[in-house]
Amino acid sequence: MRKLFSFNMVSLDGFFEGASKWDLSWHSVDAEFNEFAIAQLNEIGALLFGRVTYEGMASYWSSPDAAKNDPVVAGLMNQIPKIVFSKTLDKAEWKNTQLVKDHVADEISKLKKQSGKDLAIFGSANLMSGLMRMDLIDEHRVMVNPVILGSGTPLFQTKDKINLKLLKTRSFNNGNILLTYQSNGK
């Protein structure tokens, strides 16, 4: 059985994007982070996205700029199977992408029962919130960046209290801290 984990980078004050959409300029990324990112991508059997994150990721990672600036990550992002959950998209054209419009919980439950590498959600705060309410996320990996933004889009979009269990931490030389939590009920 595969687990489903979320991975997101956040500011110290809990925002996963800055004041404007796709403002990720504050992400603290260096060679050590890139090594981590590549290792994590190699553990993933499928990436799950909501529409907004899918559109942004597809736009960047399938571009010549991504292939030039970060060829290993771009190659992995384009190779890994992807599933976009959206009621409004008509088609998903990014390489290796499947579009799911309905029965999200059933689809994810089926995916988790399969053998293979784990499933991951990157970004996709709205999708993540819905899956948290359905208790479908097994683990949250939160990379805290040493910055306070003051405003932006909060990562956790739930109004419910959700208890988590800290599994491990990892400090990075650039000041980032990776917090890995087990989800409630797992």
- Quick one: average pLDDT of 80-108? 94
How far is it between the farthest Cα atoms of the chain?
A: 43
Query: Which tokens sit at 66?
Result: 């991504």
Give SS3 for 61.
Answer: helix
Residues 81, 92: Cα–Cα separation, whole Å: 12
Q: Give the burial class of 99: count Cβ atoms within 10 A of its Cβ; 0-12 exposed, 13-18 middle, 19 or more buried.
A: middle
Sketch the domain layout of the chain as residue ranges.
Answer: 4-182
**Which helix (H) or strand (E) covers residue 51, if one does?**
helix 51-61
Instruction: Point out which residues pair with 8 in neighbouring strands.
Output: 142
Mean pLDDT of the 26-36 span:
93
Q: Kindly report the CATH number that applies to the domain delimited by 4-182.
A: 3.40.430.10
| Rounded (10°) CA dihedral 53, 6, 65, 95 | -70
Confidence of residue 161 (pLDDT cuts 50, 70, 90): confident
Confidence at residue 185, expressed as pLDDT on a 0 to 100 scale: 57
With CA atoms as reference, report the closest residue to 151 among 7, 16, 4: 16
Residues 156 and 132: their CA atoms lie apart, in Å, by: 10
Give the pLDDT band (50/70/90) at residue 183. confident
pLDDT band with cut points at 50, 70 and 90 for residue 4: very high
Check the CA dihedral 81-38-55-9 and report its sign.
positive
**What is the H or E stretch that residue 42 is in?**
helix 31-42
Lowest mean pLDDT among 22-26, 69-73, 90-94, 134-138: 22-26
Tell me the average pLDDT of the chain: 93
User: What is the pLDDT averaged over residues 143-164?
Assistant: 90
**What pLDDT shows up at residue 125?**
87
What number is the average pLDDT over the span 8-20? Answer: 93
Instruction: Select from 22, 58, 30 the least CA-distant residue to 176.
Output: 30
Band the pLDDT of 38: cuts 50, 70, 90: very high
Give the pLDDT of residue 159: 77
Place 165 in a pLDDT band, splitting at 50, 70 and 90. very high
